[in-house]
Amino acid sequence: MVTAVRHVAPQAGTPETLAFPPLFLWGTATAAYQIEGAAAVDGRTPSIWDTYCRTPGRVRNGDTGDVATDHYHRWREDVAMMADLGVGAYRFSLAWPRIQPTGRGPSVQKGLDFYRRLTDELLEKNIKPVATLYHWDLPQELEDAGGWPERVTADRFAEYASLAAEALGDRVHTWTTLNEPWCSSFLGYGSGVHAPGRTDPVAALRAAHHLNLGHGKAVQALRASLPSRAQISVTLNFHHVRPLSEQAQDVDAARRIDALANRVFTGPMLKGAYPDDLFQDTARLTDWSFVRDGDVQEIHQPLDFLGVNYYSPTLVSGDAPESSHGSDGHGNSAHSPWPGAKDVAFHLTPGPTTAMGWSVDPTGLNELLLRLDADFPGLPLMITENGAAFDDYVNPQGEVNDPDRIAYLEGHLAAVHRAIAAGVDVRGYFLWSLLDNFEWGYGYSRRFGAVYVDYPTGKRIPKASAHWYGKVARSGVLHTSTESVD
């Protein structure tokens, strides 16, 4: 259900005042491996990312998550900072190798205690905890046993979900199974720019299916342990795909990327079937016989909302030479993350880009929300990640001024508001990220935080955007500096 939104219609060229629904959730987001550090503390064992970081040439500057922002020790200060900013929710992930180190067997009390302390403190400060079970840190032992391309990993994931729900279900009421399974499958097993760094297109498709299956099993495990008021979701990094032209080959390229990026997950999870065109497009690689009878029914579980991560739109044409796959903004590899779509070329939308080289285009977020609402009527949406990396620095006054990030956030929040005003049930927005952190293959070279982290000392400095976002979050009103573009 959508709460009425007061939209003060702008006059041409004037700033707008956009009021969000009273219960709209304003949050920030992080992930365990990107911020926690303490990689070998209290029983944690290596995940695939620890291994990947130690493989020469994989991560920029040889960076690792060993220390990261040291949130494992500085969590109290970080929660206090969120409270000072005035955000009402915090999305974080649980580290599987901290809770169930080998991916099998009983949980480790010290690992659970960390999250119990963290969530107690959040609740104490009136910040709603939103926990993600899996943000890419698969215990290395499970990868050694075959990883996500193997079915058994889905069963392991459901066991871990039960352990987490039993230990934290009394205080965490909002849960997400997977974060961005597209990255886990296609970057992890296809192009190899993410851990575990494998480059096998069939393994990537198998991984996607077993992540779907793990999601379905985990939702059932969570429902079995959590109180009935618990909210359960999954977070997908939707690719809002646009064809470069109306020519048939470009329109078909957009359809194929949409199938491989989005519908491979939303099909089974939300509609109860894999898309036929996905099977046809990949038929030369696999017959999909790893999808067993009953799997899709198991994957298709009722969800309380859908987590949406959006950064940039995806512009494609169908004319890349077979030997290349263009740059799709997901790191450089000789191997495509798009099985069966090597002839698809990726393009930048004209206009500004972020330090990731990603186009800044809030209209993509607005269109995506309208499309999701049309495709999955009645399913509430939550923006679980949105934000931008820029080359931030501390000025001689000790401040970090990041006007580009403020402009990015303003444009995207206005786009969310337009979707709500059009009737889309968007329940909240989580800025990625609370802190500068370990940006996977880019190491610490990209800063997404609203709060600057001085890595040698661990000192936190809220950037201008953090103060700006805090004001919007506290008031629930966005004052745009220019009329937002429709």
Residues noted as catalytic: 180, 385
Check if the beta carbon of residue 378 is closer than 8 Å to that of residue 437.
no
Number of other CB atoms surrounding residue 277 within 10 Å:
14
Residues numbered 131 to 160 that lie near ligand IFM (CB under 6 A) are none
For ligand IFM, which is the closer residue by CB, 21 or 196? 196
> At its nearest, how many Å lie between ligand IFM and the CB of residue 439?
5
Give the Cα separation of 67 and 81 in Å (integer).
20
Contact flags string 170-209 toward ligand IFM, x per CB under 6 A:
----------x-----------------------------
> At its nearest, how many Å lie between ligand IFM and the CB of residue 372?
17
- According to the binding rule CB under 6 A, does residue 432 interact with ligand IFM? yes
> At its nearest, how many Å lie between ligand IFM and the CB of residue 176?
12
Lateral strand order in the sheet of 345-347: 241-243, 314-317, 345-347
For ligand IFM, which is the closer residue by CB, 18 or 306? 306
Strand 381-386 to strand 314-317: parallel, antiparallel, or no bridges (unpaired)? unpaired
Residues numbered 24 to 63 that lie near ligand IFM (CB under 6 A) are 31, 34
Q: Which residue is nearest to ligand IFM (CB)?
A: 31
For ligand IFM, which is the closer residue by CB, 157 or 432? 432
- According to the binding rule CB under 6 A, does residue 392 interact with ligand IFM? no
For ligand IFM, which is the closer residue by CB, 31 or 315? 31
> At its nearest, how many Å lie between ligand IFM and the CB of residue 227?
29
For ligand IFM, which is the closer residue by CB, 36 or 439? 439
For ligand IFM, which is the closer residue by CB, 102 or 445? 445
φ/ψ region of 331 (left if φ > 0, alpha if ψ in -120 to 50, else beta) reads left
Contact flags string 437-466 toward ligand IFM, x per CB under 6 A:
--x--------x------------------
> At its nearest, how many Å lie between ligand IFM and the CB of residue 441?
10
For ligand IFM, which is the closer residue by CB, 18 or 435? 435
Residues numbered 283 to 322 that lie near ligand IFM (CB under 6 A) are 309
* Among 36, 258, 361, 385, interactor with ligand IFM by CB under 6 A: 385
For ligand IFM, which is the closer residue by CB, 241 or 434? 434
> At its nearest, how many Å lie between ligand IFM and the CB of residue 29?
8
Instruction: Please give the size of the binding site for ligand IFM, defined by CB under 6 A.
Output: 8
> At its nearest, how many Å lie between ligand IFM and the CB of residue 453?
14
- According to the binding rule CB under 6 A, does residue 281 interact with ligand IFM? no
Angle between helices 362-375 and 403-421 (to 10 degrees): 30
> At its nearest, how many Å lie between ligand IFM and the CB of residue 239?
12
For ligand IFM, which is the closer residue by CB, 31 or 39? 31
> At its nearest, how many Å lie between ligand IFM and the CB of residue 322?
29
Q: In terms of Cα–Cα distance, which of 443, 470, 456, 314 is closest to 389?
A: 443
Three-class SS string for the chain?
CCCCCCECCCCCCCCCEEECCCCCEEEEECCHHHHCCCCCCCCCCCEHHHHHHCCCCCCHHHCCCCCCCCHHHHHHHHHHHHHHHCCCEEEEECCHHHHCCCCCCCCCHHHHHHHHHHHHHHHHCCCEEEEEEECCCCEHHHHHCCCCCCCHHHHHHHHHHHHHHHHHCCCCCEEEEEECHHHHHHHHHHHCCCCCCCCCHHHHHHHHHHHHHHHHHHHHHHHHHCCCCCEEEEEEECCCEEECCCCHHHHHHHHHHHHHHHHHHHHHHHHCCCCHHHHHHCCCCCCCCCCCCCHHHHHCCCCCEEEEECCCCEEEECCCCCCCCCCCCCCCCCCCCCCCCCCCEEECCCCCECCCCCECCHHHHHHHHHHHHHHCCCCCEEEEEECCCCCCCCCCCCCCCCHHHHHHHHHHHHHHHHHHHCCCCEEEEEEECCECCCCHHHCCCCCCCCEEEECCCCEEEECHHHHHHHHHHHHCEEECCCCCCC
Positions touching ligand IFM (CB under 6 A) are: 31, 34, 180, 309, 385, 432, 439, 448
